[in-house]
Structure 1
Amino acid sequence: MKIAFVGKGGSGKTTLASLFLRHLAAERPAPAVLALDADINQHLAAALGATDEQAKAIPTLGEHIPQLKEYLRGDNPRILSATDMIKTTPPGRGSRLVGVDDDNPLYRDYVREVEGIRVGVAGAFADDDLGVSCYHSKVGAVELLLNHMVDGPDEYAVVDMTAGADSFASGLFTRFDVTFLVCEPTVRSVGVYRQYLGYAADFGVKLAVVGNKVSDAEDLDFLREQVGADLLTWVGRSAHVRAAERGEIRPIDALEPENRAALRAMRELVDGVEKDWPTYQRQAVDFHLRYARAWGNRSGRDLADQVDPEFVPGPVTLFA
């Protein structure tokens, strides 16, 4: 399954993503887990327990997009070269697909292990990018990877997305089986939920709200009133989380039982979702054609030619 964590800045989405990842990694038998940090503020590795030095040592996917393209295009005859490939280029026959638990050159080169969890990062917005670059150029590396990722049972790719509704600037928001929107019991946080819900409505995005920083019954009543049936579960104020914010990463088994139960409810929802590979590929093609018309075709080549109309990804395609 591919899972996104979104929400207002400061809502705790990175914290919730890290707790969910650590919860998955602690399950027995342990599933295959891959963490991807696509937030403009790169804090997921630290939230998982990486030191500053360890976090800085993780290669950034956004700085190695040419290498990603060269590998993923494989011998797809519709993609003339790595430079011909754009971030939305969908896979086709001949493309190289990756799994969550693969041993492939991309993971070996650009993914590092943090406390037993493999982590890839899009890359932070650097000083050199100011005024001349867009963060979506870095996030495009994650979009490329997810477009070419075939995940099977008990495999979880968990992505910490950039705050707010910024992810709608690309088709990345359609790449997930479940999107967890982390929502504080505040008007501003609920506003982001409504904005996200409105944008996602026409694309079949499965959205579940996880309340965070819930202190009392009034907080919970507020969330229930504002988001209704979309409220899946909630996480209360947590000494475990506060310790993590001070840099003390405690074992996940030390998380408060009611908060651990929330993580179990989240996994239960994810595991109940059925994969729909034809829709997944159709949405990838749709956004590729939109992007090509808006920008990609400026090179003079019609990038609609990159679409393989007979190709649908899935486990059989990967292993074939």
Structure 2
Amino acid sequence: MRIAFVGKGGSGKTTLSALFSRHLARSGAPVLAVDGDINQHLAEALGHDGDEALDAPPLGAHVADIKDFLRGTNPRIASREAMIKTTPPGRGSRLLRLLGDDELHARHVRRVGDVPLMVTGEFEESDLGVACYHSKLGGVELYLNHLVDGPGEYVVVDMTAGADAFASGLFTRFDLTFLVAEPTRKGVSVYHQYRDHAREFGIRIAVVGNKVTGEDDLLFLKDHVGDDLLTHLVQSTWVRAAEQGCPEGDLESLEPHNRHALSLLRETVDAHPRDWAALHRHAVEFHLRNARSWANEAIGLDLTSQVDPDFVPGPAALV
């Protein structure tokens, strides 16, 4: 199952991404956390010492190599240059198992505490004025397009802040998107943008209230997001201590209400099995959009022909 955490900057989405990933790992479930935010802080939220460099080559710096690996022997993809981030898999493509024994996972995954982590990489000074951060997210989109994850397996992605995630088709790659909202007008403003975009494409979202201090905060969230409010987390002294570098015990020491909220998030994710056909249909739709709007002209090829009409990814495709 694939889960995205989105929300306004400062809402706590990175903290929630880390807490949920640790909650899953603590249960023994296979889980991979992915930092897809322009501000790369998920490693620190998982417990990595921010003063030390994370020994994990970023996906964004190796997109060309990732393309070469994933296209495999797919005859519809002539070269890495002909493969764009939305190119869907077909017969001959390399499909991935979560945390499988392959060169992509071996190169890019590093364990932070109990949680395996991949990072997209920071927006560097050399990118200013000449590159879009979403080009770095191409590695994540390609990874998810070629991943065949099963029930009880989880990919948790900390996405870019605000509604910026809709600037690419990556937002359609998830089974459920958790929108983290503080009980303020700014905190719920992103919700209205996400709600409208998500409904257009049939994307499931659920709102998670954060930093709730009392009944008034909870009523405020209910008034502004209605039935989309799934649960909430209360203001946490444990989280604050962890952010200051001195956590008081392991995740079991988190406030009981907040531990229950994390369990509810998992129950909600598990309650909706994957529809592989719908997932692939979205991938094809956004690939065709990109091909016709810019990529055909930029590459000099008809990239719509990369769609394999007789292929749908999933467990059967692995066989």
User: How high is the TM-score relative to the length of structure 2?
Assistant: 0.98
Query: How big is each residue's C-alpha offset from its partner over 1:198-249, in whole Å with a ceiling of 9 and x where there is no partner?
Result: 1111111110000000000000000011111100000000011101211234
Q: What is the aligned counterpart of 1:205 among 193, 203, 206?
A: 203
Counterpart in the other structure of 2:9 = 9
Counterpart in the other structure of 2:313 = 313
Query: How big is each residue's C-alpha offset from its partner over 1:142-178, in whole Å with a ceiling of 9 and x where there is no partner?
Result: 0110111111011000000000011111100000000
Counterpart in the other structure of 2:286 = 287
**In 1, are the aligned partners of 2:181 and 2:210 still within 8 Å (CA)?**
yes
1:311 and 1:46 mapped to 2: Cα distance?
Answer: 40
Counterpart in the other structure of 2:264 = 265
Structure 1 counterpart of 2:224, one-letter code: Q
* 3-state DSSP of counterpart to 2:116: strand
**In 2, are the aligned partners of 1:45 and 1:55 still within 8 Å (CA)?**
no
**In 2, are the aligned partners of 1:11 and 1:189 still within 8 Å (CA)?**
yes
**In 2, are the aligned partners of 1:4 and 1:159 still within 8 Å (CA)?**
yes
1:5 and 1:160 mapped to 2: Cα distance?
Answer: 5
Q: What is the aligned counterpart of 2:64 among 57, 60, 66?
A: 66
Counterpart in the other structure of 1:274 = 273
Query: How big is each residue's C-alpha offset from its partner over 1:96-116, in whole Å with a ceiling of 9 and x where there is no partner?
Result: 111223121001011111102
**In 1, are the aligned partners of 2:21 and 2:156 still within 8 Å (CA)?**
yes
Q: What is the aligned counterpart of 1:81 among 58, 79, 82?
A: 79
2:53 and 2:174 mapped to 1: Cα distance?
Answer: 25
**In 2, are the aligned partners of 1:46 and 1:55 still within 8 Å (CA)?**
no
1:126 and 1:101 mapped to 2: Cα distance?
Answer: 28
**In 2, are the aligned partners of 1:97 and 1:149 still within 8 Å (CA)?**
yes
CA drift of 1:300 comes to: 1.6
Structure 2 counterpart of 1:26, one-letter code: R
CA RMSD of the aligned region, Å? 1.0
2:168 and 2:21 mapped to 1: Cα distance?
Answer: 25
**In 2, are the aligned partners of 1:181 and 1:208 still within 8 Å (CA)?**
yes
**In 2, are the aligned partners of 1:111 and 1:120 still within 8 Å (CA)?**
yes
1:115 and 1:262 mapped to 2: Cα distance?
Answer: 22
Structure 2 counterpart of 1:286, one-letter code: E
Verify: 1:35 aligned to 2:33, yes or no. yes
Counterpart in the other structure of 1:251 = 250
5+ long unaligned stretches in structure 1:
none
Counterpart in the other structure of 2:225 = 227
Structure 1: 4+ residue segments shifted above 3 A: 53-56
Structure 1 counterpart of 2:259, one-letter code: R
2:229 and 2:59 mapped to 1: Cα distance?
Answer: 33
**Percent of aligned pairs with the same amino acid:** 59
Query: How big is each residue's C-alpha offset from its partner over 1:249-278, in whole Å with a ceiling of 9 and x where there is no partner?
Result: 441111010100000000000000121001
Counterpart in the other structure of 2:90 = 92
1:55 and 1:91 mapped to 2: Cα distance?
Answer: 34
Verify: 1:238 aligned to 2:236, yes or no. yes
Counterpart in the other structure of 1:123 = 121
Counterpart in the other structure of 1:176 = 174
1:237 and 1:119 mapped to 2: Cα distance?
Answer: 26
**In 2, are the aligned partners of 1:101 and 1:155 still within 8 Å (CA)?**
no
Structure 2 counterpart of 1:98, one-letter code: L
1:192 and 1:186 mapped to 2: Cα distance?
Answer: 11
Counterpart in the other structure of 2:23 = 23
**In 2, are the aligned partners of 1:88 and 1:143 still within 8 Å (CA)?**
yes
2:230 and 2:104 mapped to 1: Cα distance?
Answer: 35
CA drift of 1:53 comes to: 5.2
1:316 and 1:252 mapped to 2: Cα distance?
Answer: 37
Query: How big is each residue's C-alpha offset from its partner over 1:7-59, in whole Å with a ceiling of 9 and x where there is no partner?
Result: 000000000010000101111xx110001110000000110011125553221
Counterpart in the other structure of 1:304 = 304
Q: What is the aligned counterpart of 1:113 among 108, 111, 114?
A: 111
